[in-house]
Structure 1
Amino acid sequence: MQTGLPPLPLQSPGTPWPTRAWPTGEARARDAARLEALLARAFDAAPDGPLGKTYALLAIQGGRLTYERYGFGATPETTQPSWSMAKSMTQALVGMLVLDGRLDIHAPADVPEWKGADDPRAAITLDQLLRMSSGLAFVEDYVPGSVSDVLEMLYGSGKADAAAYAASRPLAHPPGSFWSYASGTSNIVARLAAQAQGGDFAAYMRSRLFEPLGMDSATPKFDAAGTFIGSSYCFCTPRDFARFGLLYLRDGAWDGRRLLPEGWVDYARTPTFQQEGVTDGPYGAHWWLGIGGPGSFSANGYAGQFIIVCPDRDLIVVRNGDTPLESKDRLRDWIGEVVDCFGAA
């Protein structure tokens, strides 16, 4: 295990795996009054309030569902958008192909658009793609009317083949020298994963990831070229998002079976180099770091989707909602406070 990373807790022998249903338990809130006040700000406020709409808030501690609340018409059966939480699922699929011996993350990525003579992009590795350090130019801006590669990729000229659109971007920095969050990167990675698998990738996703975990609601979306839109689109119920979080909290093992390579979760949560001036927060390999306190890591999505994994508390917090972009910092502060209300496992 990487130095400095908190250990990942094991599933208690007396706690069943939630492949079919979540075992339940008592919430271990160390400040119940503070937690209720925080949740009132999310669920009892007007939909145009500072946090927008919170559709679901779940807490899993010690492998058991200990808190669950829904609002604004959502129910446990309502599927929610992943948005960029799909990036962390894409990282899991790459790990499974590494386990199969079909991918080497430190080798140059096999991207057709980069095979021209003396193309400097041919040196980009899968590791650099997973760490958002490819050096490719890509504008990640969600404001309509502004220059935005992500909007053009998802809804404009790139929507038929998102990976090809992203792979066509030129280098702005030498590979590995500059960190820049880019959704296009994840679609390149998703296409690389499908190429390495070499068959029906949707079936591979079901058999290797969704079915073993019991993620029956999981609905990934593919573009017209047949590529999983790994940057943005896998709809799930909040309970299924929590199942995915538990896979990472349990070091990639599930009910006696190893689904991810040993050390793959540590790879995901090992910090990536970021140049001075980055304000987005620390990043690992297709996982964010620290939003739930020191040692935590999380899958984050647009409009306030979160799967937060806290090894020191043996805790997962899932939040689905619709929060305005201008309130994202306020929401991050709020979710950090919610996590802090839960004590040690």
Structure 2
Amino acid sequence: MIRHVLAAAALLAATPAVAQSTTQDALEARYDRALAAGYKALFLCSAIANAERIGATRTPESVMRWELSGIQAPLDEIVGELPYVIERSPDGPVSYVSVPFGGTSSVRYAVHDPEKGCSLRPISYPAAATVAEAVADPARSGGANDAGQKSFELVIDSQGKSPIAHVSPLDAVFADAFADSYGPGTRTTVVLVKRGGETWERYPAKWEDVPQRTWSVAKSFAATLVGAAVQRGDANVASSAGLGGASPDPRNEITIDHLLRMASGRYSDTPGNRTDPLYFGGSTVEETALHWPLVHVPGTVYRYANNDTLAAVKAIEMTFADHPPARFFAKLGMHDTVAETDWRGDYILSSQVWSTARDLAKLGQLYLDDGMLADGTRILPEGWVDYVSAPTGPQPDSPFGYGAGFWLLNQSDGVPADTFAAMGNRGQFIVIVPSMNVVIVRRGEDPTGSRFDIAAFTRDVLETLED
């Protein structure tokens, strides 16, 4: 009798936990659908609107085939089944993209701004507010294609590839990149090599004129913008980044340098390259990236973290009123590059920048030129190249070292020791080789689990150029 009573009591005690687990499972499933809907809305908006901004044309089908295939689980199983609507202003440009994920009241919106690209609204953001934002934007004017620009469609055959432009002397190396010889399952969209006044490039169906998301290559953009602020006298990498509350909050000791070197010592609840609430959930930089507590003394432990880059950018945010990223890009001739923001207007310079291969090569050239423009104007501090490429902070357990916003190929066989690189998800790379005056750009849409061997590709490119 006592055993029966105890068993019944145990069952009753367990019931709330079981119910809570079931509820949590349903909640996680709904959240995954909300993230997938946000991912789809944002990528459809950004890929199409940022292409049309420079006179190109992207179809939703091409975005689904490239940007929205092979993405992280479980979102990859969901995005294809979600419907979408692309709303345009009367004169043609994208106003916003909506993707429902759980009934008519559960819709994700990505809203387009002609100057800052697309930004994702929070889950359950009201439709009326989205429409009002889109139609009230005074900057919306003109059609998608300006006079003199060339409009084209991204054409892909049944294998996902189309005719390739002929180049020399790097034909064989470039062909291997497109044949996935540098990684099974990888999908190259553009390869470009620049040395001095010579440029060689290869691409399928006009990808050289199509912006792609840079992913974490944007972290190197962030480090460059910090450098520009230092050159102007608006920032000091050795100064506190302003994290934490009033003194004696130990987070006050975190410097901009710590943040650029992924050495803030802060905790985050996911691996450092996953910031789903901000990237796809519609949260903001302020509420996502700045509040984490310390678990290590700043400057002692390396941990790759989107949040560190976002906090470094936040530390120079006050300079953007007079020196916005778009103005910096324009100085470099990077007119096809757009830095996007969260819905409150903070730049997501850890990932959400859209750019072309040719524009990325211009950023690499700036570093070959020691931070100086072609007319001799210095826009990065003297010695900034050495600063970003020096492994002076704690180092990752990785085939690559880490500097300040750039990866280092200082451990790669057959590659000059001064080689450093911007690297991003799905195979985005800018490789800078100062000793050989070479910039290498590789763009891709590599599926999750496939990895392009950038060190081997760099070695083969450099060996070919030396022959």
Which bin holds the TM-score, normalised by the shorter protein?
0.7 to 0.9
Shift of 1:225: 2.2
SS across alignment from 2:423:
strand
Q: What TM-score results when the alignment is normalised by the length of structure 2? A: 0.59
Asked whether the equivalents of residues 299 and 394 of structure 2 are also in contact (C-alpha less than 8 Å), the reply is no
Q: Which runs of 5+ in 2 are unaligned?
A: 1-166
- Structure 1: which 5+ runs fail to align? 1-26, 143-147
- Partner residue, 2:321: 199
2:360 equivalent in structure 1: 241
Mapping for residues 11-30 of structure 1, pairs under 5 Å: none
Question: Per the alignment, in what secondary structure is the counterpart of residue 315 of structure 2?
Answer: helix
Number of positions where the alignment pairs a residue of Structure 1 with one of Structure 2: 295
Distance verdict in 2 for CA 1:149–1:50, change over 3 Å: closer
Corresponding residue for residue 381 of structure 2: 261
Alpha carbons of structure 1 residues 213 and 149: separation in structure 2 relative to 1, 3 Å: closer
Residue 187 in structure 1 maps to residue 319 in structure 2:
no
In the alignment, is residue 161 of structure 1 matched against residue 161 of structure 2? no
Which of 248, 253, 261 is matched with 1:123 structurally? 253
1:213 Cα offset (Å): 1.1
> Partners in 2 of 1:296 and 1:238 — Cα distance?
19
Larger radius of gyration: 2
User: How much does 1:90 deviate?
Assistant: 0.8
Conserved? CA contact 2:416–2:435, under 8 Å: no
Distance 1:198 1:327 in 2: 37
SS at match of 2:443: strand
Change (3 A) 1:98 1:273: closer
Deviation (angstroms), 1:41: 3.0
CA RMSD across the alignment = 2.5
Counterpart selection for 2:424 from 301, 310, 316 = 301
**CA displacement at 1:336 relative to structure 2:** 3.1
Tell me how far apart the structure 2 counterparts of residues 52 and 43 of structure 1 sit (CA, whole Å).
8
Q: Deviations over 1:281-301 (max 9, x none)?
A: 200000111165421011111
Give the conservation status (yes or no) of the 8 Å contact 1:135–1:174: yes
Q: Write out per-residue CA displacement over residues 81-101 of structure 1, whole angstroms, 9 at most, x where no aligned residue.
A: 111111111111111111121
1:138 has 2:271 as partner:
no
SS of alignment partner, residue 326 of structure 1: coil
Q: What amino acid is aligned across from residue 202 of structure 2 in structure 1?
A: R
Where relative contact order (Cα < 8 A, 6+ residues apart) is larger, the structure is 1
Are residue 288 (structure 1) and residue 423 (structure 2) matched?
no
1:140–1:38 CA distance, 2 compared to 1 (3 A) = farther
C-alpha contact (below 8 Å) 1:139/1:182 kept by paired residues: no
Say if 2:181 is the partner of 1:61: no
Cα distance in structure 2, aligned partners of 1:140 and 1:313: 39
Runs of 4+ in 1 over 6 A off after TM superposition: none
Please give the TM-score of this superposition, normalised by the length of structure 1: 0.78
1:219 maps to which residue? Answer: 338
Q: Alignment identity in percent?
A: 34
Q: Which amino acid aligns with 1:150?
A: T
The answer on whether the counterparts of 1:269 and 1:297 sit within 8 Å (CA) in structure 2 is yes
- Aligned position for 1:20: none
Is the CA contact 1:135–1:176 (under 8 Å) kept in the aligned structure 2? yes
Letter in 2 for 1:43: F
1:326 aligns with 2:445: no
Residue identity in the other structure for 2:256: L
Match of 1:252 in 2: 371
Q: How big is each residue's C-alpha offset from its partner over 1:43-62, in whole Å with a ceiling of 9 and x where there is no partner?
A: 2469xx71421100000001
Partner deviation per Cα, 1:86-129 (whole Å, 9 max, x = no partner): 11111111111111211111111123xx1245321111011111
Q: C-alpha distance in 2, partners of 1:280/1:135?
A: 22
| TM superposition shift of 1:140 | 5.7
1:40 maps to a residue whose letter is A
The answer to whether the Cα contact below 8 Å between 1:94 and 1:103 also exists between their aligned partners in 2 is yes
Partner AA of 1:219 in structure 2: V
Letter in 2 for 1:269: S
Q: What per-residue deviation string (whole Å, max 9, x for no partner) do you get for residues 113-155 of structure 1?
A: x12453211110111111111001135649xxxxx75223322
